[in-house]
Structure 1
Amino acid sequence: MVERVPWMAPVDYEIMLFFDEHAILVSPRVLAANIEYDRQYVSKRCRTLSEAGLLDIVDTGLYQLTETGAAYLEGTLDMSELESSEE
């Protein structure tokens, strides 16, 4: 299990794990339906994860996991790189 960053919400790990397991571009709406969370909440969290460099906005409303996000999930990311991100 990876170390949780203080600003991260519990759903953030599920969001990134979905992208790690499915190498596809996904909108927050589709993502929310697959992880069973509210679409608006997932959309907000995707924006936050994108601002932190963990997700990348590929096209209007479509996201994918970044290399930084993959490194976080693997436990190889220096956590100090994420400490300064805020909502």
Structure 2
Amino acid sequence: MRSQSAMPATAPVGLADKLAALADPRSPRGRRHSLASVLLCALCAMLAGARHLRAIGQWADAAPQHTLPRPGSAHRPVPGNHPPRPARPGP
């Protein structure tokens, strides 16, 4: 029988923390949400039954705003990112 003292005493790490530690391969230009929040939304959509990219996008689009803060993606753009500027009317 193994003694309890042989087990490492580390604090559990959540999935969001693990995903936040991933390097983001996307270009900084145009990012609206962190990679972790995008992956968490995709995971939530897949757990809800989405099986392809279009279904994941539809789930994220239809998700109520009160559910999106949990994975960290509700109207909280990546710092330093600015929304696209409206096109200027031509002369």
Normalized per residue, the structure richer in strand is: 1
Q: Which has the larger share of helix?
A: 1
